[in-house]
Amino acid sequence: MPAEQASGNKVGQKSRRAIFRARDKYFVPAKTRRDNRRVPASEQLQGSKISAMNPSIVLRNATRAAVRRPLAQSVRIAVPALRVAGRRWASTEGAATTAAETEPTKKVTKLTADSYPNLQRGSHFSKITAEDVAYFESICPIISADRGATEDDLKPFNQDWMNKYRGQTRLVVKPKSTEDVSKILKHCNERKLAVVPQGGNTGLVGGSVPVFDEIVINMASMNNIRSFDEVSGILTCDAGVILETADSYLREHGYIFPLDLGAKGSCHVGGNVACNAGGLRLLRYGSLHGTVLGVEAVLPDGTILNDLSQLRKNNTGYDLKQLFIGSEGTIGIITAISIVCPQKPKSQNVAFFGVESFDKVQQTFVKTKQALSEILSAFEMMDSNSQNIVGQVTGRKHPLESKPPFYILIETSGSNPEHDSEKLNALLEDLMENEFISDGTLAESETQQKELWAWREGIAEALGHFGGVYKYDVSIPLKELYVLVDDVRAKMKDAGLLSTPENPENVVVDCVGYGHMGDSNLHLNVAVRQFDKRVEKVLEPFIYEWIQKRRGSISAEHGLGVAKSDFVQYSRGPTELAVMKGLKTMFDPNGIMNPYKYVKANA
């Protein structure tokens, strides 16, 4: 019961409670559990609306949502106890529940072990005993079925963000320091207990959740920023720091994190490095292989490998950290990283274009690179199918009135607003006058910049709204980037699985393509009402063979995890794979680190 206010405000207790309840629905607070784990934003807002991770967006959306409440007032209403501010919050409750009402009923995710019957639990792995649990408990906080944790308590650790993969762990350990991790892994190696290192659990290939009863080693409690050098821009921090947190910290000091992706409110930097995440600005700031200077990791036998260099250049032997970058937790757990960070841009612009054909998209890309050169920081392509779905799920009006088949989002980042605006305006005039683009808009404020980005960053979440998504993240030659999407859509139509005006309830909602055009990286997504074997049969191995023919990558940035583990040979030859398997066996002879995934040593 809220305490009585000292001020003479006559806001009744009941209405005040309603205000708090309604407001909490919008500012979804972190659920506090026994372990005080912060529930990731993506999970809180799963399926119902776009994650509004930036406070100013939340504020703007709150006021915008207030617009949508049906007004029953054309006469003076005497509602004495309720203030206007309270009303605004009450109205967002209406908006929030409307979105929730249209969400499909929650289905139980299939166990990964059932979806992949070819995976067998390693016969040499031990089972967890009471002594094991007691030992881990003596090291750090744990969540254990043997200590009263229910399936619901373990679900956030067992299940992935897309609700596609579900494991069967009975034990989650949450180390607070590198020494904790070392003790845990040493014990697991001796006892032959399989483990899954887990960060923000935002991965898209099922690499961060168990398949069977692997122990989940969750890094969320290791979230200290260790140091930051303001002159060199080198940041050293624990692996469990959330990307957005690191970025906000750096922004206070005039720098930014060289990586940015849609999941930034929930993902951990350790996980980003373990997956060699690409993100939205790889075009400008390069890959983690270039920006990460050092890695502190614990090897499978518990040895602490301290390669946490803060040196920009260090040519003294094999560059071990490169092995860990992109290793997906299979040769050790990353516990800290040091990374060199770029300057915070003083001037940023975002423009959104409508384009009539993929040919024109390519031409626009060339023109943009020529005109903007060093200030270009992102070049993203989206098709109209993806934008339609975002509009449908969020209920928001698209920034462009026309309906072109393709959209482009470009961003510039620089140190001089006049210089950047001049270059950008010249480009915009050129593109419009010579009809490379048919429509477009330029963000006039930071708020508009974030809103435009939301139409690109929100695609992944909107697609999941219907029930499920098959995600393919591929690198193919730029010329053919969109051909794959058309081919897949045609195949779905021929198989009678695609929703059409005649059959609007078919299992496939749509096939969409979008992605980092600047990196030749397409995200092909097939949004479905539920995961369906018939859809999978059409997609695989067709997509992998298509890519193999063009010598592309079956996983440009998402990694292998469980999803792509069996298809790695479409992008890697036998010799490469043999060397990789040798490395894995050398680091992890007992095979306890994230088994059943990535490049399987024994396969």
Partner 1 sequence: MSNLRILVPIKRVLDYAIKPRIAASGKAIDLTGQKMSLNPFDELSIEASVRLREAHGARISDILAFSAGPTKSQDALRTAMAMGADRGLLVDTNNELEPLAVAKILKKVVEKENINLVILGKQSIDDDAGQTGQMLAGLLGWGQATQAAEIELKDDVVKVVKEVDGGTETVQGKLPMVVTTDLRLNEPRYASLPNIMKAKKKKLDKETLESYGEGLQGRLEILEIAEPPPRQGGGKVEDVSGLVGKLKELGAI
Residues that bind partner 1 (CB under 8 A): 3, 32, 34, 36, 54, 56, 63-64, 66-67, 71, 73-80, 82-84, 87, 346-347, 351-353, 397, 399-401, 417, 428-429, 432, 437, 439-448, 450
Backbone phi and psi for residue 131, each to the nearest 5 degrees, phi listed first: -65, -40
Q: Which is nearer to partner 1, 102 or 415 (CB)?
A: 415
Nearest distance from C-beta of residue 231 to partner 1, angstroms: 21
Q: Which is nearer to partner 1, 417 or 496 (CB)?
A: 417
Q: What angle do CA 420, 423, 429 make, to 5 degrees?
A: 135
Q: Which is nearer to partner 1, 35 or 103 (CB)?
A: 35
Nearest distance from C-beta of residue 450 to partner 1, angstroms: 7
How far is it, in rounded angstroms, from Cα 246 to Cα 256? 8
Q: Which is nearer to partner 1, 87 or 110 (CB)?
A: 87
Q: Which of 490, 500, 488, 553 is nearest to 526 (CA)?
A: 488
Nearest distance from C-beta of residue 244 to partner 1, angstroms: 15
Nearest distance from C-beta of residue 79 to partner 1, angstroms: 5
How far is it, in rounded angstroms, from Cα 362 to Cα 450? 25
How far is it, in rounded angstroms, from Cα 525 to Cα 513? 6
For 262, the 3-state DSSP assignment is coil
E-strand stretches of 152-252: 171-173, 195-198, 215-218, 225-229, 234-238
Residue pair 210/329 in contact (Cβ under 8 Å)? The answer is no
Which amino acid makes up residue 494? D
Nearest distance from C-beta of residue 343 to partner 1, angstroms: 13
How far is it, in rounded angstroms, from Cα 32 to Cα 14? 25
Q: Which is nearer to partner 1, 224 or 441 (CB)?
A: 441
Place of tokens 């449908």: 392
Q: Which is nearer to partner 1, 98 or 441 (CB)?
A: 441
Nearest distance from C-beta of residue 84 to partner 1, angstroms: 5
Q: Which is nearer to partner 1, 80 or 317 (CB)?
A: 80
Helix (H) or strand (E) holding 157: helix 151-158
Nearest distance from C-beta of residue 98 to partner 1, angstroms: 17
Q: Which is nearer to partner 1, 371 or 432 (CB)?
A: 432
Helix (H) or strand (E) holding 341: none
Nearest distance from C-beta of residue 64 to partner 1, angstroms: 6
Q: Which is nearer to partner 1, 129 or 402 (CB)?
A: 402
Q: Write a three-state SS string for 430-468.
A: HHHHCCCCCEEEECCCHHHHHHHHHHHHCHHHHHHHHCE
Nearest distance from C-beta of residue 360 to partner 1, angstroms: 15
What are the angstrom distances between the C-alpha of 480 and each of 29, 359, 412, 494, 531?
Answer: 44, 10, 26, 21, 28
